[in-house]
Amino acid sequence: MRYDPIDPELFVRNRRRLTALMKPGSLAVIHANDVMPTNADGTLPFRQNADLFHLTGIDQEETVLLLFPDAGDPRDREIVFVKETSELIAVWDGRKLSREEAKRLSGAGRSEWTDAFDGIFQRLVSEATAIYLLTNEHPRAATPVETRNDRFIKSCRERFPLHRLERLAPLTRRLRVFKDEIELEQIRRACAVTEAGFRRVLGFIRPGVGEWEIEAEYLHEFVRNRSRGFAYSPIVGGGANACVLHYLENHAVCGDGELVLMDVGAEWAGWASDMTRTVPVNGRFTDRQRAVYDAVLRVFRGAFQLLRPGRTPLDYQREVIALMERELVGLGLLTTEEVKAQDEDKKAVKRYFMHGTSHHIGLDVHDVCPPGEPFAPGMVLTVEPGIYIRDETLGIRLENTVVVGEEKNIDLMADIPIEAEEIEDLMRSRTPV
């Protein structure tokens, strides 16, 4: 692995917290994600199930975690199963974890080969009163592809029809919404790599460069710094493309006088960062661009202050919308009369700011959270307001990754340039082509 080993105490604590939430007499099983096929004999890069990684630190296919805190034999209370390796596998695909390495990485008391899972599970399930199983319950999830966990649920219903099946997702998202200090360190590393990428592209962007070339500059810097790359598909949109919220083609040439919006983030050890910056392609904002930029930056600053413990996401978004309304009136995009006369269900502001201001971030860039959960210390979220004026082919978004603190928030991207003057100064000092 490219990244430094993670202290296994994180995974020990996570499992301890999870078993404390489980009902008496129950066991839990979580399977790894599948290696997904492409065409012919091709496969996509493996991406581990985030809940399994959060509980074990094992980033390998065909891994299984079994937790049975009330098992009669203490050796049966926590077992990690990993794929048995062989000389053939080592030659073709590289070596896999040994059982001892799996124990060391996860801090688990016992490890076995995955082939032993069925027999051990068959024996232990007879002692259990309920089985906790995992599904993807993210509110925006679209899961047409059946996972190993889905297949296991079907198997349990057929083989053990009288056992009670329990939902594991509400418990794991309760754990993952609060970040341990070891987790925060991984996110800080991801943010630092993202900063390196941004500073690199500030010296590269100029009229005539392709959006794909900017993407490549980020990727170069991310991988050079031992990241596996982007935490999510990068958005690099110049001119009108900046007004497409999920623009992913990155195939246009950046023109003189345009802005380029870059929504990118590096991954580190499985944890994501998320940053958006919008910069002038020629290194200088026009007066109109600067006015809109400064308006977005003021909303960003205001939202950062509003993102405080005890405030609900719904109330927070309402307050940010109020900030944005004032800025849009000041920019001449809305009138005071429009704002006063608007329908609460059809806010006029949504013509120019149509997305949420913050989302949780962690092992997933849109990380899990209990529905409607008020903000609390230890949560990590983005702050990302934007203004999109399609008639002017002008789109500006600014975004940082932020830790909600007890006394004050911590901006994990505070060192990444965001003030217009600093960005212009850095772009002015770039080396001519």
Q: Output the pLDDT for position 91.
A: 79
Which pLDDT band holds residue 432 (cuts at 50, 70, 90)?
A: low
Pick the more confident residue, 250 or 141: 250
What angle do the packed helices 287-306 and 420-428 form, to 10 degrees?
Answer: 130
Residue for token pair 């008496």? 24
What gap in Å lies between CA 262 and CA 222, rounded to an integer? 15
Helix (H, G, I), strand (E, B) or coil at 236: strand
For 74-83, the pLDDT digits (tens) are: 999 999 999 9
Which pLDDT band holds residue 5 (cuts at 50, 70, 90)?
A: confident
Burial profile 341-355: b = 16 or more Cβ within 10 angstroms, e = fewer: eeeeeebbbeebbee
Helix (H, G, I), strand (E, B) or coil at 167: strand
Q: For residue 44, give every residue at least 6 positions away whose Cβ sits within 8 Å of its Cβ, in sequence order, or none.
A: 35, 36, 37, 38
Q: Say whether pLDDT at 3 is over 90.
A: no
Q: Beta 267-268 vs 271-272: how paired, if at all?
A: antiparallel
Residue 336 tokens read as: 């005071």
For 297-350, the pLDDT digits (tens) are: 999 999 999 999 999 999 999 999 999 999 999 999 999 988 888 877 778 999
Which pLDDT band holds residue 394 (cuts at 50, 70, 90)?
A: very high
Which pLDDT band holds residue 429 (cuts at 50, 70, 90)?
A: confident
What gap in Å lies between CA 422 and CA 403, rounded to an integer? 24
Q: Output the pLDDT for position 237.
A: 98
Which of 251, 252, 295 is CA-nearest to residue 395?
295
Q: Output the pLDDT for position 43.
A: 94
For 147-191, the pLDDT digits (tens) are: 999 999 999 999 999 999 999 999 999 999 999 999 999 999 999
* Host H or E run for residue 166: strand 164-167
Q: What is the mean pLDDT of residues 388-407?
A: 98
What gap in Å lies between CA 391 and CA 288, rounded to an integer? 13
For 98-117, the pLDDT digits (tens) are: 999 999 999 999 999 999 99
Domains identified in the chain and CATH numbers: 9-176 (3.40.350.10), 181-428 (3.90.230.10)
Q: Output the pLDDT for position 1.
A: 65
If you write DSSP's letter for every residue of 294-316 in order, what string do you get? Answer: HHHHHHHHHHHHH--TT--HHHH
If you write DSSP's letter for every residue of 42-87 in order, what string do you get? Answer: -BPPP---HHHHHHH----TT-EEEE-TT-SSGGGSEEEEEPPP-H
Residue 75 tokens read as: 């050796």
For 343-384, the pLDDT digits (tens) are: 777 789 999 999 999 999 999 999 999 989 999 999 999 999
Q: For residue 123, give every residue at least 6 positions away whose Cβ sits within 8 Å of its Cβ, in sequence order, or none.
A: none
DSSP letter, residue 264: E
Which pLDDT band holds residue 206 (cuts at 50, 70, 90)?
A: very high
**How open is the CA angle 30-36-39, to the nearest 5 degrees?**
165
What gap in Å lies between CA 16 and CA 18, rounded to an integer? 5
Q: Output the pLDDT for position 90.
A: 80
For 134-150, the pLDDT digits (tens) are: 999 998 888 889 999 99
What gap in Å lies between CA 299 and CA 305, rounded to an integer? 10
Q: What's the predicted TM-score (pTM) here?
A: 0.95
Q: Which long-range contacts (CB under 8 A, 24 or more apart) does 66-69 make?
A: 66/27, 66/28, 66/29, 66/117, 66/120, 66/121, 66/124, 67/15, 67/18, 67/19, 67/22, 67/27, 67/28, 67/29, 68/26, 68/27, 68/28, 68/124, 68/127, 68/128, 69/19, 69/22
* Host H or E run for residue 18: helix 9-21
Which of 405, 136, 366 is CA-nearest to residue 272?
366
What gap in Å lies between CA 147 and CA 150, rounded to an integer? 5
- Tell me the C-alpha to C-alpha distance, in Å, between residue 65 and each of 107, 162, 302: 12, 23, 43
Q: Output the pLDDT for position 345.
A: 73
Residues serving a catalytic function are 41, 246, 263, 274, 355, 359, 366, 384, 388, 397, 399
Residue 191 tokens read as: 């943010």
Q: Say whether pLDDT at 192 is over 80.
A: yes
What gap in Å lies between CA 189 and CA 182, rounded to an integer? 11
